[in-house]
Amino acid sequence: MTTNSKRHAVYPGTFDPITNGHHDLVRRASGIFDRVVIAIAANPNKAPMFSLDERVELARRVLADLPAVEVMGYSGLTVDFARQHGCGVVIRGLRAVSDFEFEFQLANMSRHLDRDVDYVFLTPQEQFTFISSTLVREIATLGGDVSKFVHPVVEEQLKRKRRR
Ligand SMILES: Nc1ncnc2c1ncn2[C@@H]1O[C@H](COP(=O)(O)OP(=O)(O)OP(=O)(O)O)[C@@H](O)[C@H]1O
Ligand SMILES: [Mg+2]
């Protein structure tokens, strides 16, 4: 039986694809916790642009500069993933008040599923508050410049998707 360490955190999301906003949050989290596990949800119902393997690979490359960070794919409940990997904390990001309602509901529901998991919310630096994967995908699909919002390897893969 693994113990849920409060020094170990999981940061779940779809990361379709990983953005500079996500990177900012992971960097902050890695300065607070001993270990941060990025948990990339398969989320087939969201019909992701990038496959799970592609999203994991991109996140690994983008986050390679950060210590004590691991990237894994998962399907199933986040609280189950957290428990399986010994994480007692779940990290989520808040960009604006509009994120709050959903995140608040999610955190409270999760606590009903597993009362040992705590949610911690981080806010990004201001210039990242308007970045979402959805907007990045839309801009890239329409041929816009996303170089200020994503890592160059992500920009390159978005261009490849567009050429296909
Ligand atoms: N720019 C950002 N700044 C801070 N937190 C963020 C940012 N983008 C995403 N997050 C947070 O990261 C977590 C995982 O987000 P997710 O993978 O759904 O990204 P997203 O950008 O919201 O993607 P989508 O637009 O597809 O929903 C969520 O808690 C979300 O609020
Ligand atoms: Mg989202």
95 as an active site residue: the answer is yes
Note the pLDDT of residue 4.
Answer: 77
Catalytic one among 28, 95, 111, 161? Answer: 95
Token digits of residue 1:
């039986």
Query: Within the chain, which residues score under 50 in pLDDT?
Result: 1
133 as an active site residue: the answer is yes
Note the pLDDT of residue 44.
Answer: 87
CA of 143 to the centre of ligand 1 (A): 22
Report cis status (omega within 30 of 0) of the bond before 152.
no
98 as an active site residue: the answer is no
Note the pLDDT of residue 1.
Answer: 44
Catalytic one among 22, 55, 85, 137? Answer: 22
Q: Is 134 in the pocket of ligand 1 (CB under 6 A)?
A: yes
Atom of ligand 1 nearest to the CA of 128: 1
- 99-112: pLDDT as tens digits: 999 999 999 999 99
Angle between helices 133-141 and 152-163 (to 10 degrees): 50
